[in-house]
Amino acid sequence: MHRHEPPVTARPIGIVHEDSDLIVINKPAGVPVHPAGRYNYNSVVEIMRAERGISWNPMPCNRLDRLTSGIMFIAKHAKAAEEMGVQIKTRTVKKEYIARVKGEFPEGDIECSQPILQISPKLGLNRVRANGKEARTIFKRLSYIPPQKGTKCESIVSYSAPMSTPEEPKSERELQREAKMSWAKKEGYSIVRCFPLTGRTHQIRVHLQFLGHPISNDPIYCNQRVWGQNLGKGGEGEDEDIIARLSRMGKDEVAEAVAYHDEMVEEYNKRKAEKMTGELCSICDTPLYSDPGVHELGIYLHAKRYACEEGRWDYETPLPDWALPPAIPAIEDVVDTTPEIPPLVDTIRGLNLESTTKAAEAYEEGCHFEAAQ
């Protein structure tokens, strides 16, 4: 069989819990759940089928974006899939996400209740719009990491690729890119806990962008070439212009998020990015893409914890590497870090929300979450 398929991360699918009904997995970033588009065998369903036997039929009970990592439920049979699906749809599952966002996120409990509308299904673009569907998310800053002081690289480097040192001259192209992004290099980043109360597509990503703190390596919502210098804060930008620019990403242009510049990934790693090469396969005439770089295989968004409101089960993953306190800056540079994350129910009860809506009342009682990535 001759076919083309994009590569995905080699990181294995982690097993958080397994019983006779369900497998709770820690999905790696960059791996789609189902075969779709150009992805077939490089998907959670097909990878698990290959590991456990071709006759086995994994049944995902919840969804995560390809670029998002974290907890997923894989049912072993139809009854288990139906039962878990009902729990998720009826908002009886509490969920917590962790995100790494651009700049210094404000302290306290930040609520975003802006409605979300799907602008372009083909491009996967969603935006805050008055005529959109109701969407509510609570955010709570976990820590703020200021930019490094006293060095030319003023942001934390999270990639393993070697970077240019002061002794190594930078290429002209690298210097031009850094100059264009100089406004974004001095902001640092924040680790934020995200508690979605509704389940709209890209809800967390869209709400963070609207607040002016997009996920710092999000190729859609933190892309300066698409959104301009303010990165869509407050819903800025006309839909037609955004769609036109976004449609070129990954084809004529590389989809570059702020973090690709802000964290100064070396020029080699920037060049190694997915886009159309302009060439065709000599066998089937399929348009060929370059391979994605390591920095394109995921975003800083992780489904960290899922818990049944009735207390029957509670599953949690460790913090991803990108959310851990950095080793580069001095410890005093890390602002408001939380050495131990308090229980989810304590955080929920501590949020000051209006009790005039059903969702808020449920929130004060420590229940009724609906996830959104």
Catalytic positions, written as ranges: 65
Q: In whole angstroms, what is the distance from residue 63 CA to residue 90 CA?
A: 15
The DSSP 8-state label assigned to residue 230 in this structure reads T
* Residue 368 backbone class (left: φ over 0; alpha: ψ -120 to 50; beta: rest): left
Which of 50, 18, 56, 55 has its CA nearest to residue 31? 50
240 exposed, middle or buried (CB, 10 Å; 0-12, 13-18, 19+)? Answer: exposed
**How many CB atoms neighbour CB 136 within 10 A?**
23
Q: In whole angstroms, what is the distance from residue 254 CA to residue 65 CA?
A: 20
Which of 10, 321, 273 has its CA nearest to residue 157? 321
Half-sphere exposure of residue 11, counting CA atoms within 13 Å on the CB side?
17
